[in-house]
């Protein structure tokens, strides 16, 4: 994403830039900044890469109201994984016909909500779930639209915690489930509308060939169900496209290159397919479009390590602890006139895993200065917690050279600041 220095100050954006330093001068607490224009641009590019595709934003990546409203206004659908996300989607502008419900552990309460609202599609993860949906549809006198999530047994070659389409994962159903699924449908005619198949092989995918492999392994089953008389209309190719966290990229060319390659791959893999093609991207639409900023509290020197202690950590950004994920970390004010040091950048949480970056070479940073954790737009705030009773960080939204906050700022000249005086 666009992080660069102008006159020694770190600015953020894609075509228009906001000064992170100006916000930090007024905010001692941690905060996120998001570039909504960059998110919109990625969504539009995805649509152009494969004309006719129906993107459904995976809201687990970032469920900020402002972001959800923007995607709804831009014509995206939404992929949800809980009843709470269904309600949130409806409150922020999505219609029931825009909602796909994924997830392996849907409760009766959640399914009652989804069936009652008559959402676009419930992605079924197991025969037991199908039986539950059928029983509830009979009781509610509804005929919900369902799609079977197929596990194509494809190795996505990503972190084991975010692989979802391999035979050892809990997600989806291998072909050995198909006879049982057929038997359930035969025994319960006209109770559900089997409208399609869906797959999702993992997250943070940089290589699109495994997705193509998964599509080609799953499509024959789609046509089999269609030949058996089911009104198959949707083929959901999942999401999971990643971003280059480890690279010192400044502009979003690699995000767009991946989206372009993805579209070309879909055109090849789905040649001749006439149904609706759904996809459920999250990270690639928002990941590069967010940054987390925190203030340095102390520098702690030991014979073994130099710790840069900041006021943000795993309670605001869990990815480094959960996935051993790497995020670029930059000073908000350029200090390249100082000597370089090697720091472990750690937060205030009483856990040894509260480390944002290990052995990072940075120019010397002093207490009271700020750092920016790059590429924090996905799975940052959405996984944040009140652990140790710390407050959540504030969120700012940068759009059309305007900056807005998710809550009133406790600052002098608050009105002037919020009315986009940066």
DSSP calls for 208-232: -HHHHHHHHHHHHHHHHHHHTT---
Of 283, 318, 345, the residue at which a domain comes to its end is 283
For residue 1, the model assigns a pLDDT of 54
Same domain, 92 and 239: yes
Residues 262 and 410 in one domain: no
The total of structural domains in the chain comes to 2
Q: How confident is the model at residue 227 (pLDDT cuts 50, 70, 90)?
A: very high
Is the pLDDT at 416 greater than 80, yes or no? no
What per-residue confidence (pLDDT) applies to 411?
35
* Confidence check: pLDDT of 203 > 80: no
Which DSSP string do the residues of 34-99 spell out, in sequence order?
Answer: EEHHHHHHHHHHHHHHSTT-EEEEETTS---HHHHHHHHHTT-EEEESSHHHHHHHHHTT--GGGE
In 3D, which of 22, 30, 24 has the Cα closest to residue 317? 30
Are the C-beta atoms of 57 and 76 separated by less than 8 Å?
yes
pLDDT over 60 at 228, yes or no: yes
Average pLDDT over residues 183-188: 97
Q: For a pLDDT cut of 90, what percent of the chain falls above it?
A: 78
Which pLDDT score is estimated for 336? Answer: 86
319-342: average pLDDT? 93
For the entire predicted model, the pTM comes to 0.91
| pLDDT tens-digit series, residues 360-382 | 999 999 999 999 999 999 999 99
Residue 243 reports pLDDT greater than 80: yes
pLDDT at 200: 87
Write down which residue in 266, 283, 300 finishes a domain. 283
Question: Do 94 and 206 fall into the same domain?
Answer: yes
The CATH number covering residue 363 comes to 2.40.37.10
Residue 205: pLDDT band (50, 70, 90) is confident
Q: How far is CA 417 from CA 25, 116, 405, in A?
A: 12, 43, 10
User: Which pLDDT value is given to residue 251?
Assistant: 62
42 plus 131 within the same structural domain: yes
Both tokens of 71, joined, read: 């995607």
pLDDT value of position 145: 98
Q: What is the mean pLDDT of residues 53-72?
A: 97
Task: Tell whether 191 and 59 lie within a shared domain.
Answer: yes
Element (H, E) at 364: none
* Residue where one domain finishes, among candidates 221, 255, 283: 283
Q: What is the pLDDT of residue 408?
A: 52
Distance CA 276, CA 270 (A): 11
| Residue numbers annotated as active site | 350
Give yes or no: residues 208 and 332 share one domain.
no
What's the chain's Rg over C-alpha atoms? 23
Whole domain around residue 408: which residue ranges?
A: 3-34+288-418
Measured CA angle at 116 (ends 110, 118), to 5 deg: 105
Average the pLDDT over 321-329 and give the result.
92
pLDDT grade for 155, boundaries at 50, 70 and 90: low
User: Mean pLDDT, to the nearest integer, of 102-107?
Assistant: 94
The predicted model gives 8-12 an average pLDDT of 95
Indicate the average pLDDT of the chain. Answer: 90
pLDDT band at 419 (very low <50, low <70, confident <90, very high): very low
The tens digit of pLDDT for each residue in 389-408 reads: 999 999 999 998 888 887 75
Q: Is the Cβ–Cβ distance between 291 and 20 less than 8 Å? A: yes
Q: Do 55 and 98 share a structural domain?
A: yes
Number of C-beta neighbours around residue 412 at 10 A: 8
Strand pairing category for 77-80 and 99-101: parallel
């Amino acid at each position: 994403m666009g992080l660069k220095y102008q006159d020694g100050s770190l600015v953020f954006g894609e075509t228009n830039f906001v000064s992170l330093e100006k916000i930090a001068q007024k905010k001692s607490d941690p905060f996120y900044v998001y570039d909504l224009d960059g998110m919109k641009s990625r969504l539009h590019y995805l649509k152009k890469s494969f004309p006719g595709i129906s993107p459904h934003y995976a809201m687990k990546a970032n469920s900020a109201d402002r972001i959800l409203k923007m995607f709804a206004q831009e014509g995206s659908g939404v992929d949800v994984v809980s009843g709470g996300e269904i309600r949130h989607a409806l409150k922020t502008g999505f219609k029931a016909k825009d909602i796909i419900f994924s997830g392996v552990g849907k409760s009766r309460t959640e399914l009652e909500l989804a069936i009652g609202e008559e959402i676009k599609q419930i992605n079924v993860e197991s025969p037991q779930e199908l039986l539950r949906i059928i029983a509830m549809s009979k009781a509610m006198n509804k005929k919900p639209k369902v799609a079977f999530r197929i596990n194509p047994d494809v190795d996505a070659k990503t972190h084991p915690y975010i692989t979802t389409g391999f035979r050892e994962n809990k997600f989806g159903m291998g072909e050995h489930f198909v006879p049982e699924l057929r038997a359930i449908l035969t025994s319960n005619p006209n109770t559900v509308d089997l409208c399609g198949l869906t797959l999702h092989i993992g997250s943070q995918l940089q290589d699109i060939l495994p997705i193509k492999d998964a599509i080609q392994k799953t499509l024959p089953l789609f046509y089999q169900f269609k030949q058996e008389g089911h009104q198959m209309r949707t083929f959901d190719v999942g999401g999971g496209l990643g971003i280059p966290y480890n690279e010192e990229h400044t502009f979003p060319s690699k995000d767009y290159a991946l989206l372009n390659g993805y579209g070309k791959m879909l055109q090849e893999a789905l040649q001749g397919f006439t149904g609706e093609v759904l996809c459920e991207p999250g990270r690639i639409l928002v990941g590069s479009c967010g940054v987390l900023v925190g203030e340095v509290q102390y520098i702690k020197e030991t014979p073994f390590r130099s710790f840069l202690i900041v006021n943000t950590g795993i309670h605001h950004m869990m990815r480094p602890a959960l996935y051993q994920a790497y995020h670029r970390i930059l000073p908000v004010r350029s200090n390249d006139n100082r000597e370089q040091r090697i720091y472990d950048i750690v937060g205030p949480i009483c856990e040894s895993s509260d480390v944002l970056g290990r052995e990072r070479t940075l120019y010397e940073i002093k207490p009271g200065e700020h750092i920016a954790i790059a590429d924090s737009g996905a799975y940052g705030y959405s996984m944040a917690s009140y652990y140790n009773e710390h407050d959540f960080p504030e969120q700012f939204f940068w759009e059309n050279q305007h900056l807005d906050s998710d809550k009133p700022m406790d600052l002098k000249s608050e009105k002037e600041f919020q009315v986009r005086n940066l």
